[in-house]
Structure 1
């Protein structure tokens, strides 16, 4: 398969997203071309590091970089300020300068941690994202959102900081467990719901987590997802308007994820959140019932959760600490039809009503 290139052009930085087989082996050469500099620090968690970190570090060294490696404990529970502090101290100890580069190798947590460390260190050095999970490839590695979690909720301390390059090697997906690959599919389905009905129908008819799914078609799906994300981010880098549509399923989804103490994956939580807000939207008359039904059926076809048993008080509490809250209102993304959504600003009581309508087996 040939390598696909999606060019991202935001007001703050333009860069390429490279999607193909074996491209991780070219990290050093590609980083040299995109970033320059003399030193590179590879950041990975302790799940991914044994698989890819040393090979990436060697590739960078071969390209002339003085290379160091930092490994942190895997998991959302470690996406915290304490871990970030350790990473920043490591960058300082390695004597990186503003001309140098952080290379984040891993899933969404690593991309967030590496990206935010690069944004803060010396008020900004370059970062290359090397996503190794499907979720990171189609979503979190593109667009420049970086953050850590606080006790009050997910992604509450962060920055918009675009990478200088994204290297997405589809061969890395072979090392994912079926459960982790399936979890990532929640974000893939989301992109179809918000911007591309044809993609949604394709995903619903031929689930990409089915055994023996064609690798070329998978690369095409990843590329289309990145294009959708690119188009939105290019138009609204800092989430003042259009970019909010990417939060479809996330207001309730983040609450579900936090209520599980992050034992439920992000993609699975978003999938459940999409179904909950779709059911509520249909009951409010904001979309036809068959729109909600199509979303629920597609999510179910992947074996992802379509609802939550978390009590509504807990969901409301977590959701109203989310960054999508604005004073006494919350912005929620609701489907109008497949391929189109809109952002509605609702009061906190109105949002609680949506939770009651869409979530749980006893939802009215």
Structure 2
């Protein structure tokens, strides 16, 4: 094979060009991060060596027999979002299995989670890392985690202080795309059903508001109680909106469970979906494919979130001093049959079709 050479000091862009990969891939290979195929890794290392690039030795990114605890809120895991978190756990388990590690899921009461409970769990399981799945830990607990130097990854969560590794779906951009889809269908008065009890959910509110502001549409935020775990609260809230008769023609719901409740209320009022009213969901949970008509929603790759979280944990254990990394995974539109242009009301003297 022909050797490559340069007349100047090589850079990562040169390695990427000769190896036929992205600069990001080169950076990950040189940092010995997981998630890169053996062939690509060998190719990048070979090109880097031939160019005379100074490859610094780094700790192994795949420690053996890694034992990690995944803490999941009991109310989330056993409620309507159970399938969401089961998908994340499936991704975590798969990544752990492939790397020879062990994942130990534990249900906790996130509202009362304390350092003493974590200490006991770590001692009991002999775990070397903690996944906080759907948990936004209080400030005092964050302080203890940092002081104790326990590798910690927030899964389906965002650390506003940028102290921890985090992975989540692209909540802001996904919500903005969802809202734009509803607006593009011709809707000018749109509801948003939400519970803003977590930072990730507030990002969906921001995405909704950004799209609405850009397009000058009329909106209303329908705030449900933080303890809402079924579609019942969304149904009752939508019933109240319909009684107000404020002329809204569409609703974007923060998750599919809420969308199911909204659709139930519309059906109770003999409104056709989407002819009379459009409904947009988020998450693409199994219930989205069971509605009639099929719910239009945003797909979240839950297994990929779990896999990426495990890679972040491997990186953190291999290099404890690395800067925290915040990863957002793209979401995509799932074209159902619950969003279309609103039904035009006949003008005076005009017959309806």
TM > 0.5 between the two?
no
Bigger strand fraction:
1
Larger Rg computed on CA atoms: 2
* TM-score between both structures, scaled by the size of structure 1: 0.32
What TM-score do the two structures reach when normalised by structure 2?
A: 0.33
Q: Which has the higher contact order (CA 8 A, sep 6+)?
A: 2
